[in-house]
Structure 1
Amino acid sequence: MTAAVELDIRVVEQFLYREARLADEHDYDGWEALWTDDGVYWVPANGDDIDPTRQMSVIHDHRRRIATRIKQLKTGRRHAQVPHSRLRRMVSNVEILGTDQGGDVLVGANFVLVESRERGTELWAGRYTYRLRLVGEELRMAFKKVALVDNARVLPTLAFLI
């Protein structure tokens, strides 16, 4: 049995809660530090099981693009986020779904996020799917998919970390 298989669900939950808090508090450096060097961040559009190389996605970032997104958010010139949205999310129904052939832990969780802006309040909900990897003794995200409940409709500006 690999170290990944032996992970306690509480360790996984604490990692997901920390990731949510860092995103909610706009701690971009802390959030970015949670990624592996080969990480992929994906928010599909028009369905949950599309092929992101052939169909449109809301976000489909490899690791360098994640870094670029973070730099843009930190400039203060991303007009859709001036001032920053006030964010709070709840993460629930956390499940360890198994491991992949490389030993990464497959995790699923539901979320509800409240975004408060000058234009009003938006409610976002969906399902997170992660591939988490032990790097040394720390968990890191190798993959994060955000399947929004309403991803087939016209979405308001998504200019924060979902």
Structure 2
Amino acid sequence: MAESTLTDSRILQAVELIWREADLLDRKDYHAWNDLYADDGIYVIPVETSTDDFDDHLNMVYDDARMRAMRVQRLTEGYAISAVDSAKTIRTVSRFVPLEVTDTSVSIRAGQVVVAYKRGNHDLWAGDVEYVIRFGATPADDKIVRKVVRLVNAEDVVLAAGFLL
């Protein structure tokens, strides 16, 4: 674990990007969400929560830039059933734990809870999320290089989510 604390301006800058991502997802601004990712960035939801070898293990989601673009297209063009009747969501991202802090990037772990509401029903999604944030010339240029969502119930039956975690 990094010695840095949340008073470190680099960590605060990373946390602000993470909160911006959560807000964009709740507002379903998927194009702006995708723009937060580096060209080499990945977004992963593994089934096996103890692995970091995503290439050789089963994942619910393993999106590179091409797959994220295709996902955004499905969610915004209105042809996918998950986009036509999508849930309203509210995300809380908290419990930030810095893992590695340099002048060019921050690796940080957080807890995330997503409450989704659709057709009179509430669903709850919770997990540990690991982020790697690469700093740009200005905070507006910062990018997500890696986001791994480890759902607490990933190894059980997980109902399909028509939204991004």
TM-score of the aligned structures, taking structure 1 as reference length: 0.88
Residue pairs, 1:79-90, within 5 angstroms: 79-90=81-92
Shift of 1:154: 1.0
Match of 1:13 among 12, 15, 25: 15
Shift of 1:153: 0.8
Q: Which consecutive unaligned segments of at least 5 residues does structure 2 have?
A: 1-7
Contact 2:24-2:30 within 8 A present in 1 as well: yes
Q: Does 1:74 align with 2:76?
A: yes
Q: Secondary structure at the match of 1:92?
A: strand
Residues 156 and 119 of structure 1: is their aligned pair in 2 closer, same or farther, counting only changes over 3 Å?
farther
TM-score of the aligned structures, taking structure 2 as reference length: 0.87
Contact 2:128-2:151 within 8 A present in 1 as well: yes
Residues 143 and 74 of structure 1: is their aligned pair in 2 closer, same or farther, counting only changes over 3 Å?
same
Aligned length: 156
Shift of 1:11: 1.9
The percentage of counterpart residues that share the same residue type is: 28
1:142 counterpart residue number: 145
Residue pairs, 1:95-134, within 5 angstroms: 95-99=97-101, 103-118=104-119, 120-134=121-135
> What CA RMSD, in Å, does the superposition of the two structures yield over aligned residues?
1.8
Q: Does 1:25 align with 2:32?
A: no
Q: List per-residue Cα deviations over 1:6-50 (Å, max 9, x = no partner).
A: 743322222111110001110011101101111111000133325
Q: List per-residue Cα deviations over 1:97-142 (Å, max 9, x = no partner).
A: 1147x94311111011101112721100001101100122122101
Contact 1:80-1:157 within 8 A present in 2 as well: no
1:44 counterpart residue number: 46
Distance 2:157 2:88 in 1: 22
Q: Which consecutive unaligned segments of at least 5 residues does structure 1 have?
A: 1-5
> Which has more helix, going by share of residues?
2
